[in-house]
Amino acid sequence: MFARALPNFFTVGNLFLGIIAILFAFQGHWKYAAIMVIIGMLLDGLDGRVARMLNTQSDFGKELDSLSDVISFGVAPAFIMYVSAFQSTGIEGWIITAIFPICGALRLARFNVNPGEPGYFIGLPITAAGGILATFSLYTPHLKNVYIAMAATLFLSYLMVSRIKYPAFKKQEVPRILYVLVPVFFIVLIVSAIRYPEDLPKIICIPLILYALYGFKKTWELKRRRS
C-alpha cells in the first residue's frame, strides 16, 4: 500500500509547494517563491521515476501529476511574474499572466493524449517553462522595460504549445560532452549555493533558458536544411 502511494506523495508535495509559491509571491517574497518552484521541479522529476521503479504507474497518478503541474509550473510562475513585474501595467499584464498557465494546460492535455516521439517532447515541457519564468522574475527589477518580461512570458507560452521538439534526455543517448559539462555545472551550483545562496535561483535560470533555446535552434536549423 505504501509503495503504491509513495509516488503520489511526491506529486502532492509538488502541488503543496506550488500553492506556497503563490502565497510567497503575493507577500512580495519572489525569491522564496522561485525556490519553491525549483524544489517542486525536483519532486516532479521524482514521482514518475519512483512510480516506474516500483512499478506503480496508474491513470490516477498521471492525472494528479498533470493537475499539480498546472498549479506549480503554470499558475504559480505566472503569479510570481505578475507580482514582480506586471502590477504596474494595465489589462495587458492580466492577459499575459492568464495566457501562460492556459498554454501550460493545453501543453499538458496534448501530452496526455499524444506523448510525442520516442526520445523527444513536442513543445517545451511546462516544468521547464515554469522554472524559467519563476527564476527569470528575479531579474525583472533590473530590466529597463517591463515589456521585455512580457515578451519573454509570451515566448515561453508559445514554446509550450509549439511543435518544436525538445530532447527527453532520459529516453535517448546522452552526448559525451554532457558527461563533462553536467558534473562541472553541479560543482559550480554547489559552490554557488554555499557562497551565494541568495543568487542560486538566478543561476538555475541559465541552464533552463539554454534548454528552451536549444530546441528552438535545432528545429529552425532542420527547417532551413529542408528548404
Averaged pLDDT, groups of 10, the chain, 227 residues long? 70 93 92 89 79 73 88 96 91 96 95 79 93 90 86 95 82 52 59 60 80 79 69
Residues 6+ apart with CB under 8 A from 224: none
Best CA proximity match to 150, nearest among 94, 206, 111: 94
Point out which residues pair with 7 in neighbouring strands: none
Query: Which amino acid type is present at position 43?
Result: L
Instruction: Sort 183 into a burial class: Cβ within 10 Å, 0-12 / 13-18 / 19+.
Output: exposed
Domains and their CATH numbers in the chain: 2-226 (1.20.120.1760)
**In which region does residue 28 sit, left (phi positive, over 0), alpha (psi from -120 to 50) or beta (all else)?**
left
Point out which residues pair with 165 in neighbouring strands: 122
What is the predicted pLDDT for the residue at 57? Answer: 73
Q: What is the DSSP string of 111-151?
A: HHH---STTEEES--HHHHHHHHHHHGGGGGG-S-HHHHHH
Residue 52 in grid coordinates: 516506474
For residue range 84-112, list pLDDT tens digits in order. Answer: 999 888 899 999 999 999 999 999 999 88
State the Cα torsion 150-151-156-162 to the nearest 10°.
130
What is the predicted pLDDT for the residue at 200? Answer: 67
Q: What is the DSSP string of 177-206?
A: HHHHHHHHHHHHHHHHHHH-GGGHHHHHHH
Q: What's the gap between Cα 196 and its chain centre? A: 23
The answer to whether the beta carbons of residues 150 and 93 sit under 8 Å apart is yes
What is the predicted pLDDT for the residue at 96? Answer: 96
Distance CA(29)–CA(24), nearest Å, equals 5
What is the predicted pLDDT for the residue at 144? Answer: 78
What is the predicted pLDDT for the residue at 5? Answer: 66
Distance CA(202)–CA(77), nearest Å, equals 14
